[in-house]
Amino acid sequence: MIIAIHQPNYLPYLGFFDKMLKADHFIILDDAQFSKGDFHNRNRINTIAGPKWLTIPVKGSFIPIKDIVINNDHLFSGMKWTEYHLKLIKDNYLKTKFFKILFIRLEEIYKKEYKKLLEVNLAIIFLLKELFEIKTPVSLSSELGLKSSATQRLIDICNYFSAKTYISGKSGLDYMDISLFEKNNIEVLIQDFNHPVYKQRFNHFEKNLSSIDAFFNAGNILE
């Protein structure tokens, strides 16, 4: 059993789904602490002027991601954040090859009103999981009843699923205690994700944007 774990980012980049694709079970770490300025409530899309951040306005910090509340009273250029994000997505991807396939589904999501950040993040994650044809089962860490933290939390999640292999992003080496994995006979694989290059609508190629950029332009590029 191979386990991969990732926090529930907004409009995740391709590496998020690459990790999901390579795992036998994927855990969304929804009870990790929200980090302002991270990708939990924002990500980038491509525009004629270059990459642009789309940010969901939220209330609070230093609490679990699953408890973060959206500030639905905040306006961008006089629009609700859902209307503003949808408009920018439409304006910048209207002429892409796979626009109709993805946009109509995103529109269904953005036309709803959400109280919690996790709700909209999960809706988009599961939509993209479907469009990238990823069959990996997904669980939320908050549903597992585990109380540990830091590296021990990762170990306990692996043990919960009797997993002997854990996929980590490269940055995981900066904060994980690898010796704990060794003591628990769990192999750590470092995700080797090489971002694919594809034809984008605008001239200069930008990598590590939201994965909606890849799908709008190239379809299921993770096939």
In a domain, 166, yes or no: yes
Residue 71 confidence (pLDDT): 97
- Alpha-carbon torsion 42, 109, 111, 142, what sign? negative
How far apart are the C-alpha atoms of 121 and 41, rounded to whole Å? 8
b/e code 133-161 from CB counts within 10 Å (16+ = b): ebebeebebbeeebeeeebebbbbbbebb
Structural domain includes residue 46 = yes
Task: Measure the CA–CA gap between 9 and 159, rounded to whole angstroms.
Answer: 24
> Which pLDDT belongs to residue 36?
87
Question: Do the domain assignments include residue 223?
Answer: no
65 in Cβ contact with 8 (< 8 Å): yes
Predicted local distance difference test score (pLDDT) of residue 175: 83
Q: Consecutive 10-residue runs of the chain (223 residues): their mean pLDDT?
A: 98 98 98 94 96 96 95 96 98 97 98 97 98 98 94 96 95 87 96 94 90 98 85
Domain holding 50, by residue range, is 2-218
The CA distance from 22 to 169, in Å, is: 12
CB 57 within 8 A of CB 98: no
Is residue 38 in some structural domain? yes
**Predicted pLDDT of residue 185:** 97
**Number of structural domains found in the chain:** 1
Q: Which residue, 220, 31, 223, is CA-closest to 127?
A: 220
In a domain, 142, yes or no: yes
pTM of the model: 0.96
Spell out the SS3 assignment of 135-195: CCCEEEHHHCCCCCCHHHHHHHHHHHCCCCEEEECHHHHHCCCHHHHHHCCCEEEECCCCC
3-state class of 69 per DSSP? strand
Looking at the domain assignment, is residue 169 inside a domain? yes
| Residue 213 placed within a domain | yes
- Residue 218: the pLDDT is 97
**Alpha-carbon distance 214 to 219, whole Å?**
7
What pLDDT is recorded for position 13? 98
> Does residue 17 fall inside a structural domain?
yes
